[in-house]
């Protein structure tokens, strides 16, 4: 099975960006962590990042034919984007929403995510491990066969 891991705006700056909140690991580090666990689980993972809302919609739509599930950190668009939530509803794939930080411990405007209403699972506050937990969940749900 294939899982598409999609990261939204400013996550390309992970490691440099507010390390007190988001940690010191880069996006490449996070991708390496996920790739290592995916190999053990017998899952193929693909990675994409975009700072643009419409491009994120395109990436989600592309997953319809290229993946069996989506791990998405919509970043700031979580709190604003009906288009991204609609794209997830349209593709009808299992979706794990991930946030590195615990959005509920932070500013009020981060407490609501449009994506959560269409996600199967929401993981926040676990840092990079959240992506691995999301992968574990999706692999179990889809019955991935470890080598
Ligand atoms: C984030 C939380 C969002 O509120 C924020 O806009 C981000 C990252 C997280 O991973 O904790 O860019 O999604």
Distance between CA 42 and CA 12 in Å, rounded? 27
- Complex confidence, ipTM: 0.99
Phi-psi region of 19 (alpha: psi -120 to 50; beta: other; left: phi over 0): alpha
Token match 């199967």: residue? 120
Residue from 10, 52, 110, 119 to probe ligand 1 pocket by mutation (most atoms less than 8 Å from CB)? 110
Find the helix or strand (DSSP H, E) in which 98 lies.
Answer: strand 95-99
Domain extent at residue 96: 2-142
Question: What digits encode the pLDDT tens for the residues 120-146?
Answer: 999 999 999 999 999 999 999 999 777
Does any domain span residue 62? yes
Q: Is 99 in the pocket of ligand 1 (CB under 6 A)?
A: yes
Token match 């997830």: residue? 88
Does any domain span residue 33? yes
User: Where residue 62 sits, what CATH number does that domain have?
Assistant: 3.40.50.9100
Does any domain span residue 147? no
Give the number of domains in the chain: 1
Question: What digits encode the pLDDT tens for the residues 71-90?
Answer: 999 999 999 999 999 999 99
């Amino acid at each position: 099975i294939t899982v598409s891991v999609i990261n939204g705006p400013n996550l390309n700056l992970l490691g440099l960006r507010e390390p007190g909140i988001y940690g010191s690991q880069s996006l490449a580090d996070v991708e390496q962590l996920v790739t290592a666990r995916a190999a053990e689980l017998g899952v193929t993972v693909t990675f994409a990042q975009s700072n643009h809302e419409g491009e994120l919609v395109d990436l989600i739509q592309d997953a319809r034919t290229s993946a069996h599930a989506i791990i998405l950190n919509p970043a700031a668009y979580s709190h604003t984007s009906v288009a991204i939530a609609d794209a997830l509803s349209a593709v009808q794939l299992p979706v794990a929403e991930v946030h590195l930080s615990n959005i509920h411990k932070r500013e009020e405007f981060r407490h609501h995510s449009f994506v959560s209403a269409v996600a199967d699972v929401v993981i926040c506050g676990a840092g990079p491990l959240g992506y691995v937990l999301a992968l574990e969940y999706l692999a179990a749900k889809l019955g991935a066969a470890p080598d």
